[in-house]
Chain A
Amino acid sequence: MSGPRRRALGLGAGLLVLLILVVTSIAVGSTAIPLSVVWDALTHPSATIDEYAIRDYRVPRTIVGLVVGVALGLSGALIQALTRNPLADPGILGVHAGASFAVTAAVGFFGVRDVQGFLWFGFAGALVVTLMVLALGSTRQGSSPVVMVLAGVCVGAVLGGAREALQLTDPDAFDVIRAWNAGSIAGRSLDVVGPILPFVVIAVVLAFVAARPLNAMALGDDLAVAQGARLTRTRILAILAITLLAGGATAIAGPIGFVGLMVPHVARWIVGPDQRWIFAYSILLAPVLLLASDILGRLVLHPGEVPVGIVTAFLGAPVLIALVRRAKVSGL
């Protein structure tokens, strides 16, 4: 079977797994609801308490998981391709720190208390930080991935400290942010997804436009230029896509780690170094991971729930350790 055909079949299998998880996410939760009621809630809606649980909580939660998963997975793949660093994730460019600081400031200075209010502050924080990192990472010879990573780490550290300081001086802000910082898709309505969705779609398009030149850039800047890749343009497109994706995901769900780190690696194991296939598989596999983690979080501590950001951290840490101990980390 040819490579592209095998990859296409793999995409189909991944899509099937994703569909199964979508159905499971709607059917399973902290309250036991018969499947017949689940079906009726979706096909013949009526005003019963159980059907409200399906339509008002589980369906939006599932959709949020899909959007956030796509955003995190694709942004992770983009960052690893852009920086040629297989251990990079959306946090390394300071995106999480920017969004977290902006949300903390929104709570502390403007009295914002709900997720809808966090949305645009988080988005703006991520955008500002990304632009800062882009500016700091630019040298006379153009943008440098290594310098960008260093700038991202530095900016992230400064904003992380500023956020902690603000939380210490404002206990009320700390209380509100504590839940958001854990990273969760619970309690998010479609009102928070709708405004962000167009940006995610735009970012997906930008990512695939940048995919082919990123393939060339994996061989090094000189070879990439020799193959006709436009380095600065590609990097700007990639960073813009990362900002929209990671910023949007963090604004909706708070900082969720490891998804953007793990999923591109798994994609690379399956399809090899072609960024177009890596992006496609990341778009599919990241929501699989996120929804599976969220379902697990609903069940493992019943009747309470574990935020998905904590579940992915528990899953991601062993994976990260396995990655760094591999003799050869999957190349870019």
Chain B
Amino acid sequence: MTLPSRTRRGAALAVALLGASLALTACSAGDTGTATGETRTVQADNGSVEIPAAPQRVATIGNTTLPFIDLGGSPVGVTAEADSDIERLSADQQETYRSATLLAASADEVDMEQLAALEPDLILVQIPDAEFESIEDELEAIAPTVFFGLDTEWKALADAVADAGNTTDALSAQKAEFEGLVTGIQEEYADLIANTTFVDVIRWSSSDPGTFAIADIGCSEIGRDEVGLNLPEAEEGADPLAWTALSFEQLGELSGYDVITYPVDAAGEPTEPFAPVVETNTWQSLPAVTSGHALGVFCPGNNSYGAVIQYLESLQDALASLPAAG
């Protein structure tokens, strides 16, 4: 039996439409791979967050940028970092940073439209709690958002960023190198560490002329808490010593320490903000300086294993330069 021509045309159209629908469904299922279950859950300060198993387009806001780059990540969008921090990165890492889209000078100014246009599949955030609360909904509308509070200890932050950003292989290698360095310094300089008083001094570009500070935060924390150096520390509950600007006339009080460490750049020269300190007559008359016990140490940062490893290597070289005990 032969179908009438009109009926044949209608059947063909129906088949074509059905085929097109199936094709579209298949395509859309392929575009939303996460919808098919390639996700996992991570714990963060904003609760349990379901994120892509292998995020490909990560945006970093606040203090997650440098740790993520340090772990080998390549963010598609970032908030601005200080030029002085960028200059301490390796050339490759600087290129990675500059390749990312600059979203804003700070988290509270992030252009959400620009961020959305980047189509991130994961957003990593470390900013003050209050700032995050004001932008949380907007961020989560764009992509899964993982938030870490400012009080997150640097190792925990590195672990969490590596986990969420799927860079745990790099983290494992860094951890092994870090622990090896710490153990090596502790073993090689056990007597020195046990019997020597250290002080770490710092000066920032924002420091008032004629002032410096005793650093008990930053890399000094690594030296004190990881290596075991006898470095000064603020009393429990008090503000960090580094927050108190001391006049240059107080440089003389460093005479009470056996070894002074101070910040240098990658080339080993005093950093630009600290240069005025080493030029003073007072500094040049300090017992530690005149006896070769003033050590320049490179500190690119203390919020990621890569940066801390560079600090420890510099510290190791500096300790090796100390004059032999007479």
Please list the residues of chain A having a beta carbon within 8 angstroms of any beta carbon in chain B.
Answer: 29-31, 47-50, 52-53, 56-58, 113-115, 168-169, 171-172, 175-176, 178-179, 182, 184, 186-188, 298, 303-305, 307
Contact = CB atoms under 8 A, between A and B. Distances in A.
B246 A58 contact: no
A52 B251 CA distance: 10
B245 A305 contact: yes
Interface string B184-219: 000000000000000000001111111100000000
A184 B252 CA distance: 22
Interface residues of B, number: 31
B209 A53 contact: no
B82 A58 contact: no
Contact of B211 (A48, A169, A187): A187
Contact of B82 (A169, A171, A186): A171
B177 interface: no
A179 B206 CA distance: 6
Given A31-B249, A171-B82, A304-B246, A186 B206 contact: no
Contacts of A182: 208
A52 B280 contact: yes
Nearest to A50: B252
Interface in B165-186: none
B193 to A, nearest CB: 27
Contacts of B207: 179
Which 7 pairs, one residue from A and one from B, show the smallest C-beta to C-beta distance? A187-B210, A187-B209, A175-B206, A53-B249, A49-B252, A179-B208, A52-B281
A188 B210 contact: yes
Given A184-B208, A186-B211, A187-B210, A30 B246 contact: yes
B209 A179 contact: yes
B30 to A, nearest CB: 44
A57 B282 CA distance: 10
Contacts of A52: 252, 280-282, 285
A303 B282 contact: no
A64 B249 CA distance: 16
Nearest to A187: B210
Interface in B263-309: 272, 276, 280-282, 285-286
Contacts, number: 91
Contacts of A53: 248-249, 252, 282
Given A56-B282, A188-B210, A176 B205 contact: yes
Chain A CB count within 10 A is highest, among B82, B83, B206, for B206
Nearest to A29: B249
Interface in B222-250: 244-250
Contacts of B83: 172
Contacts of B246: 30, 303-304
Contacts of A307: 208
Contacts of A48: 285
B80 interface: yes
Contact of A303 (B82, B206, B244, B281): B244
A113 B205 contact: yes
A184 B245 CA distance: 13
Contacts of A29: 247, 249
Chain A CB count within 10 A is highest, among B84, B249, B252, for B249
B208 A175 contact: no
Contact of A30 (B204, B247, B276): B247
A324 to B, nearest CB: 32
Nearest to A184: B208
Given A57-B247, A175-B205, A184-B209, A113 B252 contact: no
A307 B210 CA distance: 12
A49 B255 contact: yes
Contacts of B211: 186-187, 305
18 contacts: A29-B249, A30-B247, A30-B249, A47-B285, A52-B252, A52-B280, A56-B282, A57-B248, A175-B206, A176-B206, A179-B209, A186-B209, A186-B211, A303-B244, A303-B246, A303-B250, A304-B245, A304-B246
B92 interface: no
Contacts of B82: 171-172
A40 to B, nearest CB: 15
